[in-house]
Amino acid sequence: MNPIPALRFVVRVALQNIVRNRGIAFASLLTVTLTLLGAGAAVAVVSALDGVLHQEETQASVLKVFMADHVSYASILNLQYNLSSEPSVLKASFENKDQAAKQAASGLGLGNALKILQQTGGGNPLPASINLHLRNIGAVSAINNQVSTSPLLYPGPHPTDYNKDVIPRLERYIFAAQLGGAIMVAVVGAVALVIITISVRTAAFVRRQEIEIMKLVGATDWFVRWPFLIEGVIVGVLSALLASAVLVGIGLLFGSGGNLALGIGLRFAGLVVLGLIAGGAVLGSFGSFVGIRRSLAT
């Protein structure tokens, strides 16, 4: 079979399908655009949320290892060095007693209490600490177990400090956000698929006489199928472009400083657009494939 006239025929029929059935084609374009918009927005929101949560996550993964007061500076440096060479440790910094006091004073309403304690010769009750920034939340308990038995540590029930509670909570948030996004994308994808299928089935119904004749004179199934697949792909890609234009437009409107809204980078936005186009093409061709199947049954 000569590909060029075949291609011409296929594209011509696909375009005719769209023009002749412009009502349903427009409806499917619109609904597929809306569903892709939903999918794109969901991806953007999940990504932005993921970014925020990731930030929270790095903050939450700070582990304070409190030092006993008698420990020499050399042993502290040695421990700090050892901890900083752990693969899960991003940064290990030393915070001495004065800094601890200052930190506490700035953060909480304890300033006055501390001042009074120091002025009355009570000294500084806050211990020095090595503050560990960990690569991820999961490493916190492992490092904690590793250091908590060291004789250098502050005696008492809490030789280390991290917010045990915030970690699983954050993990649950991230999981919920991803799951919600995935479900939303799946649902809107299914809706788009059904709409394209209906639209192609309508086009095939309008052309049923033509399909009947094609089969009678010996056209192959693929030759019957191609125009409808191309029609689906055209609708899918046009919808993706429309949805992308709307999303990027909104992003630009509310964005600032080289980023789109929600702090989304241009690179990521480009990937989302490519993803929507690919998604539209896949939805379109798959929907068409299903839509035309019944017409090819006999």
Partner 1 sequence: MSISTSPAPPRTVTQATGNGPPVRHDPPIIVFENVSKTYGNGAPAVQDVSFTVRPRDFVFVVGASGAGKSTIIRLLIREETASKGHVIVEGQDLARLRHRHLPRLRRKMGIVFQDFKLLPNLTVAQNVAFAIQVTDPGRSHLKEKVGEALYIVGLEDKLNNFPTELSGGEQQRVAIARALIHRPRIFLADEPTGNLDPDAGWGIVQLLLQINHRGATVVMATHNREVVDLSRRRVLAMEGGQLIRDEQEGQYLKEGEAIL
Query: Is 19 an interacting residue with respect to partner 1 (CB under 8 A)?
Result: no
User: Which of 106, 112, 149, 209 touches partner 1 by CB under 8 A?
Assistant: 209
Query: Is 206 an interacting residue with respect to partner 1 (CB under 8 A)?
Result: no
Query: Is 74 an interacting residue with respect to partner 1 (CB under 8 A)?
Result: no
Q: Cβ of residue 228: shortest distance to partner 1, in angstroms?
A: 14
- Where residue 121 falls (left for φ over 0; alpha for ψ -120 to 50; beta otherwise) is left
How far apart CA 248 and CA 133 sit, in angstroms, is 36
User: Which of 8, 22, 115, 208 touches partner 1 by CB under 8 A?
Assistant: 8
Stretch that binds partner 1, among 62-70, 93-101, 144-152, 211-219 (CB under 8 A): 211-219
Identify whether the C-beta of residue 56 lies closer than 8 Å to the C-beta of residue 136.
Answer: no
Q: Cβ of residue 287: shortest distance to partner 1, in angstroms?
A: 23
Stretch that binds partner 1, among 77-85, 106-114, 145-153, 215-223 (CB under 8 A): 215-223
Query: Is 141 an interacting residue with respect to partner 1 (CB under 8 A)?
Result: no
- Helix 3-20 vs helix 221-254: crossing angle, to nearest 10: 60
Scan for tokens 């308990």, then name that residue: 141
Stretch that binds partner 1, among 3-11, 117-125, 168-176, 267-275 (CB under 8 A): 3-11
Pick from 103, 104, 175, 107: nearest CA to 137: 175
Separation of CA 10 from chain center: 38
Identify whether the C-beta of residue 202 lies closer than 8 Å to the C-beta of residue 289.
Answer: no
Residue 219 or 252: the one with the smaller Cβ distance to partner 1 is: 219
Query: Is 212 an interacting residue with respect to partner 1 (CB under 8 A)?
Result: yes
For the record, the structure tokens of 38 come out as 């939903």
Query: Is 90 an interacting residue with respect to partner 1 (CB under 8 A)?
Result: no
User: Which of 97, 102, 133, 215 touches partner 1 by CB under 8 A?
Assistant: 215
Stretch that binds partner 1, among 55-63, 149-157, 197-205, 212-220 (CB under 8 A): 212-220
- Alpha carbons within 13 angstroms on the beta-carbon side of residue 31 total 19
| Residue 19 CB partners (closer than 8 Å, separation 6+) | 25
Stretch that binds partner 1, among 61-69, 152-160, 206-214, 286-294 (CB under 8 A): 206-214
How far apart CA 92 and CA 81 sit, in angstroms, is 8
How far apart CA 195 and CA 12 sit, in angstroms, is 23
Note the residues at the interface with partner 1 (CB under 8 A): 1-6, 8-9, 209-210, 212-221, 223-224, 298
